[in-house]
């Protein structure tokens, strides 16, 4: 269960403007994004029949393809079940995945907006990587997610994403992903992600996570993404030794990495902040509270000693009993601030900040504390 106080206040006051430094080309926004934000369509999803559709899938199927408008799906409270397997025999091939939420590349500019943050809608499933798909072969990690985002410019606010497969089963059946995001310029605000093994597949693209709760045990944030996590609560449910991140940057030329700022790392078990899934894995934690569950060495090379000279794992001004650098073995001896200033990683996130600026601007009339009042959000709804 998530703590009641994990979300920090995030207030956009009327009349406030985004930081001009977030914009590309001297203040020129992404033209596709600008046009989409000026053409919004509102669709209400409610299981009680009071909305436009009763399921998220029906609402998505109603959108003409290719889409060029900002489509806001206002999702009322409820549990929306997808890819549910109530019982499973590992040796049986009778179990097939029949339903998931998959937003294709032809549906950019989609927003999932939970109508009330105190009672967010839950999108849940319990599929795993070895479940047999409709084509008769295992889904694999890529297709096992309860929700898969393949489109660009996706936004989620006040949504709970969940995969209920446990690690005891997941270790045999494979990963159980709650959300996979493969499109670029995606943003998640006041969302929660619940799973066990491989909860959040930060697959590829530019992504922003703000005031989010992310729970899991084994590599519960993983992928190739170039992503910024701000004010997020990372909760381990590991029973033994596990890892928060498994970042997959496999070449030195890849503009890929995870950056965590003002976050909390806590929970159960003993955990590494990250283990090197890729030869050039890159993860940085700044201004983050680390509980005692963080192992003294902090990081893991995934059994490949050569990666110790090619990965970049950094910590800067973190706090808590797990932030003691004395056991890190020199892996964070170089000032992390040099990484920010010289490597160009934050500069590589400029296109993401451009998107964040529009995201913030569209919510500037809203006060996102407690609940979001739709009548006070003229820039979110058409």
pLDDT score of 356: 60
pLDDT digits (tens, 9 = 90+) for 25-39: 334 457 888 888 888
pLDDT score of 157: 92
pLDDT band, very low/low/confident/very high, at 247 (cuts 50, 70, 90): very high
Q: Which CATH architecture has domain 224-343?
A: 3 Solenoid (2.160)
pLDDT band, very low/low/confident/very high, at 331 (cuts 50, 70, 90): low
CATH of domain 24-85+95-216+352-376: 2.160.20.10
User: Could you write out the DSSP letters of every residue in 242-302?
Assistant: EEEEEE---STT---EEEEES-EEEEEEEEEEEEESSTT-EEEEES-EE-TTB-TT-EE-T
Number of H helices, E strands in the chain: 7, 26
Bridging pattern class, strands 226-230 and 257-261: parallel
Are the C-beta atoms of 183 and 148 separated by less than 8 Å?
Answer: no
Percent of the chain with pLDDT over 70: 71
The average confidence (pLDDT) of the chain is 76
Smallest CA-to-CA distance from 3 within 183, 256, 267 is with: 267
Same fold, 24-85+95-216+352-376 and 224-343: yes
pLDDT beyond 80 at 219: yes
> In terms of pLDDT, which residue wins out, 120 or 87?
120
What is the Cα 122 distance to its own chain's centre?
15
pLDDT beyond 60 at 83: no
Catalytic residues: 219
pLDDT band, very low/low/confident/very high, at 116 (cuts 50, 70, 90): confident
CA distances from 102 to 61, 179, 297 (A): 10, 10, 39
pTM of the entire predicted model: 0.81
Smallest CA-to-CA distance from 185 within 354, 10, 360 is with: 354
pLDDT band, very low/low/confident/very high, at 142 (cuts 50, 70, 90): confident
pLDDT beyond 90 at 377: no
pLDDT band, very low/low/confident/very high, at 326 (cuts 50, 70, 90): confident
Cα-based torsion angle of the residue sequence 33, 34, 35, 41 in order, rounded to the nearest 10 degrees: 70
Q: First CA to last CA across the chain, in angstroms?
A: 35
Domains of the chain: which residue ranges?
24-85+95-216+352-376, 224-343
Q: What are phi and psi of 238, to 5 degrees?
A: -65, 145
pLDDT digits (tens, 9 = 90+) for 183-192: 999 999 999 9
């Amino acid at each position: 269960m998530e703590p009641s106080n994990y979300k920090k206040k995030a207030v956009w006051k009327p009349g406030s403007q985004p930081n001009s430094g977030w914009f590309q080309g001297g203040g020129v926004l992404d033209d596709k994004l600008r046009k989409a934000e000026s053409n919004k369509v509102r669709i209400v999803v409610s299981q009680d029949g009071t909305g436009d559709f009763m399921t998220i899938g029906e609402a998505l199927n109603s959108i003409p393809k290719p889409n060029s408008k900002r489509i806001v799906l206002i999702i009322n409270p409820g549990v929306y079940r997808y890819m549910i397997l109530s019982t499973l025999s590992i040796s049986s091939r009778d179990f097939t995945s029949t339903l998931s939420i998959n937003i294709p590349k032809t549906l950019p500019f989609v927003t999932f907006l939970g109508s009330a943050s105190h009672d967010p809608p839950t999108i849940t499933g319990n599929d795993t990587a070895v479940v047999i798909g409709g084509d008769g072969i295992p889904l694999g990690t890529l297709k096992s997610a309860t929700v898969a985002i393949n489109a660009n410019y996706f936004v989620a606010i006040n949504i709970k994403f969940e995969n209920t497969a446990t690690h005891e089963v997941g270790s045999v059946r494979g990963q159980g992903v709650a959300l996979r995001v493969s499109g670029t310029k995606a943003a998640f605000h006041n969302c929660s992600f619940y799973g066990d093994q491989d909860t959040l597949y930060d697959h590829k693209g530019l992504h922003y996570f703000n005031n989010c709760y992310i729970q899991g045990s084994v590599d519960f944030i993983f992928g190739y993404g170039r992503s910024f996590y701000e004010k997020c609560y990372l909760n381990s449910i590991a029973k033994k030794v596990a890892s928060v991140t498994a970042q997959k940057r496999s070449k030195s030329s890849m503009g890929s990495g995870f950056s965590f700022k003002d976050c909390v790392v806590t929970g159960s078990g003993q955990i590494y902040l990250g283990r090197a899934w890729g030869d050039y894995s890159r993860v940085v934690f700044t201004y983050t509270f680390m509980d005692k569950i963080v192992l003294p060495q902090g990081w893991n090379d995934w059994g490949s000693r050569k990666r110790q000279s090619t990965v970049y794992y950094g910590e800067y001004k973190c706090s808590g009993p797990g932030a003691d650098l004395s056991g890190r073995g020199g892996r964070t001896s170089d000032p992390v601030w040099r990484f920010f200033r010289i490597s160009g990683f934050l500069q590589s996130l400029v296109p993401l900040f451009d998107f964040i600026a529009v995201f913030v601007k569209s919510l500037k009339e809203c006060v996102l504390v407690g609940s979001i009042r739709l009548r006070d959000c003229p820039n979110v709804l058409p």
